[in-house]
Amino acid sequence: MTLRTLIVDDEALARSRMRTLLRDCTSPPAEVVAEASQGAEALQQLGKLALDLVLLDVHMPGIDGIEVARELRARSDAPAVVFVTAHAAHAVTAFDLEAVDYLTKPVRAERLQQALQKAERFLKERRALQAEAVPETVLIQDRGRAERVPLSEVLYLKSEYKYLTVRTATRSHILDGSLNEFEERYPHRFLRVHRNALVARSAIRALEKYDDGEDAEGWALRLDAIPEPVAVSRRQLAAVREVLKESR
């Protein structure tokens, strides 16, 4: 990860020295994409640039670094903030504002390198959490119309001819896809119950004897929210019983 960086300091000499120090930092590398000499200018840059990191002075004319950090705190896509100042008095406030580090001037190269590594870890962890929070969906395309169905709403998937039936509590959708793909990608969400069917583990209500007209000794699952049973093959019966046992 190359950290796209904004340097904010009211002293031109301090900004120049920071650029020089950053050139020697390679793990991770940092690219200075903009500078600002005051808080208001920094907020303008932050509003129009995609940034990973702000190296932020505290004491500046007008809007100071603490106020800039407060503005950033409300943004889910805010860059990581590292305070760089000659004063240590604001360290507690800085960390209350979720700054990833607090450097005192004169900044040493090794401390700056550590701050960059903290910023990289912070950004990676936040992106991982945001990715987990995004609902997983399956894209259904029908007659020129596209619809995203949350996987959390899918009760079962059945392979029928060349297509999959995707069943939710309210509708059945047709999807051009593969059961194997869903089974491999979402093993904790779906359970194979038949060579042609996967069911949502969370929707399983009961296993019962089922006569499908061909096998009077067959078995089927009852799922939440829908009336139709889903047949269970003899080969998958033990796995289904194990899941039911674990859920009790």
> 3-133 and 138-247: same fold?
no
Nearest partner of 14 among 49, 65, 63, judged by Cα:
65
Label the pairing between strands 163-167 and 156-160.
antiparallel
Contacts of 30 (CB under 8 A, 6+ apart): 2, 3, 5, 22, 53, 116
C-alpha to C-alpha distance for 196 and 161, rounded to whole angstroms: 10
Nearest in space to 163 (alpha carbons), one of 138, 184, 185: 138
Tens of each residue's pLDDT in the chain, 248 residues: 799 999 999 999 999 999 999 999 998 999 999 999 999 999 999 988 989 999 999 999 999 999 999 999 878 789 999 999 887 777 777 778 889 999 999 999 999 999 999 999 999 998 888 777 667 889 998 877 889 999 999 999 999 888 999 999 999 999 988 999 899 888 889 999 999 999 999 999 999 998 877 666 799 999 999 999 999 999 999 999 988 887 66
Which structure tokens are listed for 102? 């607090």
CATH of region 138-247: 2.40.50.1020
SS (H, E, C) 9-53: CCCHHHHHHHHHHHHCCECCEEEEEEEECCHHHHHHHHHHCCCCE
Nearest residue to 97 via CA among 62, 123, 71: 71
pLDDT at position 153, please? Answer: 95
Q: Which CATH architecture has domain 3-133?
A: 3-Layer(aba) Sandwich (3.40)
Q: What is the DSSP string of 153-208?
A: G--EEEEETTEEEEE-SS-EEEE---HHHHHHH-TTTEEEEETTEEEEGGGEEEEE
- Residue-range domain boundaries for the chain: 3-133, 138-247
Q: How far is CA 39 from the centre of its chain?
A: 30
Q: Name 163's Cβ contacts closer than 8 Å, sequence gap at least 6.
A: 174, 175, 176, 177
* Joined tokens for residue 122: 């912070």
Tokens of 181: 């793909």
Report CA dihedral (238, 229, 200, 195) to the nearest 10 degrees: 60
Per-residue pLDDT at 161: 83
